[in-house]
């Protein structure tokens, strides 16, 4: 629809995945209504968007399907048992500030933890969130959902190639000659990145897909390695073994740019294709073919996702993937390298902003005295040099820690829903209820807000300005499309008010002022001014210089110079070990948890978009192989009960050949069929990322399907009551 004089056209970046698609909204400002949206030309998306880009903004109309917008600040005035009451902003801010101050005085700064948000808010409020936790509270206990996502990619890449982000850019993918896609399902997770994989195929690229499921990428792959879940490292080690034994490595590149090959070979030498085949269930010749193909080009790209990182051995697999790149000279030029494709719209950005327990903004270490001094001076506060707590360690420091002096007593949760997205939800709920004071700053009622002592309502994507960082290090603007409704404030303003009330004043007039403070403190980002981002559409970091000649960086490690302190890449890998909880007599199947294309993470947003809800709704699905379904007497679309050592839920069976016998899959988007009631909180020792992709489970037939559907209906109604909805559920 063309904009008339009274209508406005506003371009912004999509708020769902890290592909960073550009969308153009047509708005009627007088009615405060969105009339139309369509994708427009952007660096990463050309002029395309997926169904979430087209239909994912309806939550701004608050249709109240699974939950509803929070429009007023609320507090529990008289302790945990008292109801949440609507109060003024002044009262809410004072209540939060007083309670956090009391906890800080009694138990010290390290008894408080803050969680930032990789979603709607954008970079500026996250910069303020970590500044608040560090400078006002006085601790590095600041983290966010990258922990449960790509933290393993950051840790593993840092230890080998020195930089945790994608080394290449999304558009380069289509010019790869070989793609090794491992544990990544782009067609569901990043459809517009998936389009680049399809285009690569059209241009003649050889695609290897390592995934236990037949995903869409597996379907178009030239070689599908349908390995047993949890065995990635046995595959990547074997590929390295073949490359070296057949003399396919790039000796020149290795000599000039890498070290520690001997220690790497000590491990890899045992991983012959025959040995690996016993662990992975693959054919030795398929492993050989994968290795030969990968080593055959200087335009080989490795793309990976949660099927690599969400294991207790995730970091090791990342190191092994980076080592494959070094072994074959696939770094430092166009269309090669490593692509840990960051999931959320702004998870790269939230890491960039230092919402991590070990680094300030711009990846500057909290343990480096020079950095500490620099930030102390800039922020006018004494800072801690102790690395903070990872958010997945909170239950350990609450329910499993007996000494109150070592416990977490205050948890400020900004734009995350751990009571839906963290593993082992029963333990998580117990944790939230034991913490003295929980603050939730969100846009919707979610499962975590039910445990909050104070709720601070923020504006949503579409209602505020800022900058997001796409998966490939690209800063892009987001813009206000409609005016917010209700007694709500921008996230950056809420954090500033709480900090000021606690005696550490923060005064900003807009997001650009915050951004300018941040880029001046972060050399890698310094050149990325609002003006440059607007002019170019996107600025990829590193961008060191404000001048027009520094346009940003398309790919990293130019000429083989790695981001390690001495510029040399370090070979690393590990031997294979089993996941923590394997199938057994009581729980004979394995459970892996993945994603839905039409719904997003905890679903507060896509669950409240009418088009998307009509595609898929509660209680979600369980993918199960026909052979397992037959033995259990389960038919397609039956409601079934699935349980693990930790809990049980109802969901529907999707009987499909796409999954292997013995392994079942759920998507983590569902609130009734909530798979995190079942998952295990076992963590990778170095990244603290949970093993969401593997635990033991049992699936049971339910004889009385009429009862089962009624039970799902009751649970849905109860959920909607808990989320304060009194509207009828529309058909
Ligand atoms: N079983 C299983 N669990 C998983 C995973 C899995 O694969 N399997 N994946 C994990 C991964 S990779 C991730 S990243 C996490 C994601 O988990 P979360 O980060 O918890 O989920 P999100 O849906 O991204 O958003 C969290 C909250 O942000 C709020 N929000 C959105 N925009 C704004 C805003 O502008 N301001 C404020 N204040 N709030 C806002 C939303 O309403 C929502 O409540 O889940 C993890 N959980
Ligand atoms: N529609 C939609 N898009 C999203 C999200 C969403 O919730 N909905 N979430 C966003 C977020 S937060 C993230 S992090 C990204 C994640 O996006 P992806 O990384 O694609 O995440 P998953 O789908 O969880 O897992 C990827 C694949 O790993 C495979 N896998 C499981 N176990 C193994 C194994 O042992 N080895 C190998 N090789 N593969 C295995 C699974 O079968 C699955 O196909 O998606 C983002 N995009
Ligand atoms: S691919 Fe990702 S960024 Fe693009 S429209 Fe879809 S959800 Fe939005
Ligand atoms: Mo994620």
* CA 627 / ligand 4 centre spacing (Å): 32
CA pair distance 452, 80, nearest whole angstrom:
8
- For the segment 432-440, the average pLDDT, to the nearest whole number, is 98
Q: Please name the residues in contact with 650: beta carbons below 8 A apart, sequence gap of 6 or more.
A: 619, 639, 640, 641, 672, 673, 702, 708, 711, 712, 715
Question: Coil, helix or strand for 592?
Answer: strand
Which atom of ligand 1 sits closest to the CA of residue 594? 7
Residue with CA at minimum distance from ligand 1 atom 34: 120
Nearest partner of 343 among 666, 682, 20, judged by Cα: 20
* CA 471 / ligand 3 centre spacing (Å): 11
Residue 1 has pLDDT above 80, yes or no: no
Nearest partner of 428 among 403, 401, 450, 399, judged by Cα: 399
| Residue of 180, 187, 189 best suited for mutating to test ligand 2, as the one with most atoms within 8 Å of CB | 189
- For the segment 700-704, the average pLDDT, to the nearest whole number, is 98
Q: Residue 183: which H helix or E strand, with range?
A: none
* CA 584 / ligand 1 centre spacing (Å): 32
Q: What is the per-residue pLDDT for 483?
A: 97
| C-alpha distance from residue 502 to each of 108, 270, 410, 417, 497 (Å) | 14, 58, 14, 25, 9
Residue 2 has pLDDT above 70, yes or no: no
pLDDT band at residue 234 using 50, 70 and 90 as cut-offs: very high
pLDDT digits (tens, 9 = 90+) for 353-387: 999 999 999 999 999 999 999 999 999 999 999 99
Are 621 and 689 spatial neighbours (Cβ–Cβ below 8 Å)? no
CA pair distance 702, 719, nearest whole angstrom:
22
pLDDT digits (tens, 9 = 90+) for 56-111: 999 999 999 999 999 999 999 999 999 999 999 999 999 999 999 999 999 999 99
pLDDT digits (tens, 9 = 90+) for 647-683: 999 999 999 999 999 999 999 999 999 999 999 999 9
* CA 47 / ligand 3 centre spacing (Å): 11
Question: In degrees to the nearest 10, what's the CA dihedral of 499, 501, 505, 509?
Answer: 80
* CA 715 / ligand 1 centre spacing (Å): 22
CA pair distance 634, 81, nearest whole angstrom:
43
Q: What is the per-residue pLDDT for 727?
A: 86
pLDDT band at residue 487 using 50, 70 and 90 as cut-offs: very high
Residue 190 in contact with ligand 3 by CB distance below 6 A:
yes
Residue with CA at minimum distance from ligand 3 atom 4: 21
- For the segment 458-481, the average pLDDT, to the nearest whole number, is 98
* CA 546 / ligand 1 centre spacing (Å): 34
| Residue of 14, 15, 17 best suited for mutating to test ligand 2, as the one with most atoms within 8 Å of CB | 17
pLDDT digits (tens, 9 = 90+) for 386-398: 999 999 999 999 9
Q: What is the per-residue pLDDT for 5?
A: 67
Looking at the CA of 660, name the nearest ligand.
2
Q: Ligand 2 — pocket residues by CB below 6 A?
A: 17, 149, 182-185, 188-190, 210-213, 215, 229-230, 232, 305-307, 343-344, 592, 594-597, 599-601, 669, 693
Q: Across 92-246, where does the E strand assignment appear? A: 112-115, 142-143, 178-182, 206-210, 223-225
| Residue of 602, 620, 649, 689 best suited for mutating to test ligand 1, as the one with most atoms within 8 Å of CB | 602
Residue 342 in contact with ligand 3 by CB distance below 6 A:
no
Residue 116 in contact with ligand 3 by CB distance below 6 A:
no
Residue with CA at minimum distance from ligand 3 atom 6: 50
* CA 218 / ligand 2 centre spacing (Å): 13
CA pair distance 560, 206, nearest whole angstrom:
24
The percentage of the chain sitting over the pLDDT mark of 70, rounded to a whole number, equals 99
Q: What is the per-residue pLDDT for 728?
A: 86
DSSP H helical ranges for 132-212: 151-160, 186-189, 191-202
- For the segment 681-707, the average pLDDT, to the nearest whole number, is 97
Residue with CA at minimum distance from ligand 1 atom 11: 149
Residue 259 has pLDDT above 60, yes or no: yes
| Residue of 12, 13, 15, 19 best suited for mutating to test ligand 3, as the one with most atoms within 8 Å of CB | 19
Top-confidence residue, 1 or 347: 347
Question: Coil, helix or strand for 259?
Answer: strand
Q: What is the per-residue pLDDT for 731?
A: 64
Q: Across 305-421, where does the E strand assignment appear? A: 337-340, 359-360, 364-365, 410-414
* CA 431 / ligand 4 centre spacing (Å): 22
* CA 21 / ligand 3 centre spacing (Å): 6
pLDDT band at residue 730 using 50, 70 and 90 as cut-offs: confident
Q: What global pTM score does this model have?
A: 0.97
* CA 695 / ligand 4 centre spacing (Å): 19
* CA 18 / ligand 3 centre spacing (Å): 7
- For the segment 11-17, the average pLDDT, to the nearest whole number, is 98
Looking at the CA of 16, name the nearest ligand.
3
pLDDT band at residue 204 using 50, 70 and 90 as cut-offs: very high
Residue 52 in contact with ligand 3 by CB distance below 6 A:
yes
* CA 68 / ligand 1 centre spacing (Å): 16
Residue with CA at minimum distance from ligand 1 atom 19: 416
């Amino acid at each position: 629809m063309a904009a008339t004089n009274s209508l406005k056209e506003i371009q912004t970046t999509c708020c769902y995945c890290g592909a960073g698609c550009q969308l153009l909204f047509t708005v009627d400002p007088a009615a405060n209504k969105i009339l139309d949206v369509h994708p427009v030309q952007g660096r990463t998306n050309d002029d395309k968007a997926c169904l979430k880009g087209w239909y994912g903004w309806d939550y701004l109309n608050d249709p109240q399907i699974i939950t509803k917008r929070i429009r007023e600040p609320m507090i529990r005035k008289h302790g945990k048992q008292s109801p949440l009451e609507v109060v003024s902003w002044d009262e809410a801010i004072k209540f939060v500030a007083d309670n956090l101050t009391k906890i800080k005085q009694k138990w010290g700064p390290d008894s408080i933890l803050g969680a930032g948000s990789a979603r709607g808010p954008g970079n500026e409020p996250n910069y303020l969130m970590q500044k608040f936790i560090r400078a006002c509270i006085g601790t590095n206990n600041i983290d966010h959902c990258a922990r449960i996502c790509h933290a393993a990619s950051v840790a593993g890449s840092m230890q080998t190639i020195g930089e945790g982000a994608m080394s290449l850019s999304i558009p380069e993918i289509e010019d790869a000659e070989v793609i090794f896609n491992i544990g990544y399902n782009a067609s569901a997770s990043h459809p517009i990145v998936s389009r680049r994989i399809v285009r690569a195929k059209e241009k003649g690229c050889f695609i290897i897909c390592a995934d236990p499921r037949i995903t869409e990428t597996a379907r178009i792959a030239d070689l599908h390695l349908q390995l047993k879940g949890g065995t990635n490292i046995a595959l990547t080690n074997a590929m390295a073994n073949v490359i070296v034994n057949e003399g396919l490595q790039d000796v020149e590149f290795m000599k000039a740019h890498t070290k520690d090959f001997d220690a790497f070979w000590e491990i890899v030498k045992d991983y012959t294709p025959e040995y690996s085949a016993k662990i992975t269930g693959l054919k030795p010749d398929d492993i050989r073919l994968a290795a030969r193909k990968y080593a055959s080009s200087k335009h080989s790209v490795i793309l990976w996702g949660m099927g690599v990182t969400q294991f207790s051995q995730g970091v090791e697999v990342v190191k092994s993937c980076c080592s494959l790149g070094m072994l074959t000279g696939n770094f430092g030029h166009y269309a090669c390298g490593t692509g840990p494709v960051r999931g959320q719209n702004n998870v790269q950005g939230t890491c960039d902003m230092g919402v991590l327990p070990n680094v300030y903004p711009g990846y500057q270490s909290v343990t480096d005295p020079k950095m500490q001094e620099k930030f102390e001076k800039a922020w006018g506060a004494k800072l801690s040099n102790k690395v903070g707590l990872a958010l997945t360690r909170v239950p350990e420091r609450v329910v499993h820690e007996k000494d109150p002096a070592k416990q977490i007593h205050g948890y400020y949760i900004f734009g995350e829903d751990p009571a839906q997205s963290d593993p082992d939800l029963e333990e998580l709920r117990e944790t939230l209820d034991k913490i003295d004071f929980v603050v939730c700053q969100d846009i919707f009622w979610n499962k975590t807000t039910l445990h909050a002592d104070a709720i601070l309502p923020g504006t949503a994507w579409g209602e505020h300005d800022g900058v997001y960082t796409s998966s490939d290090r690209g800063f892009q603007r987001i813009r206000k499309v409609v005016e917010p409704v209700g007694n709500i404030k921008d996230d950056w303003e809420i954090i500033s008010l709480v900090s000021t009330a606690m005696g550490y004043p923060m005064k900003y007039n807009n997001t650009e002022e915050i951004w300018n403070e941040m880029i001046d403190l972060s050399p890698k980002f310094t050149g990325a001014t609002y003006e440059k981002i607007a002019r170019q559409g996107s600025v990829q970091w590193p961008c060191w210089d404000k001048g027009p000649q520094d346009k940003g960086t398309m790919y990293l490690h130019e000429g083989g110079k790695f981001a390690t302190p001495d510029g040399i890449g370090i070979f690393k890998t590990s031997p294979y070990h089993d996941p923590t909880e394997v199938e057994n007599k009581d729980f004979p199947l394995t459970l892996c948890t993945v994603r839905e294309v039409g719904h997003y993470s905890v679903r507060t947003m896509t669950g409240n978009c009418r088009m998307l809800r009509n595609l898929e709704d509660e209680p979600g699905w369980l993918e199960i192989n026909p052979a397992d379904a037959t033995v259990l007497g389960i038919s397609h679309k039956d409601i079934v009960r699935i349980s693990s050592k930790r809990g049980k839920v109802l969901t529907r069976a999707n009987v499909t050949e796409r999954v292997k016998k013995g392994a079942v899959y759920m998507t983590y988007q569902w609130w009734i069929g909530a798979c995190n009631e079942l998952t295990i909180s076992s963590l990778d020792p170095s990244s603290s990322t949970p093993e969401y992709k593997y635990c033991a489970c049992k699936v049971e037939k339910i004889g009385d399907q009429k009862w089962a559907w009624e039970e799902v209906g009751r649970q849905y109604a109860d959920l909607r009551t808990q989320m304060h909805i009194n509207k009828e559920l529309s058909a």
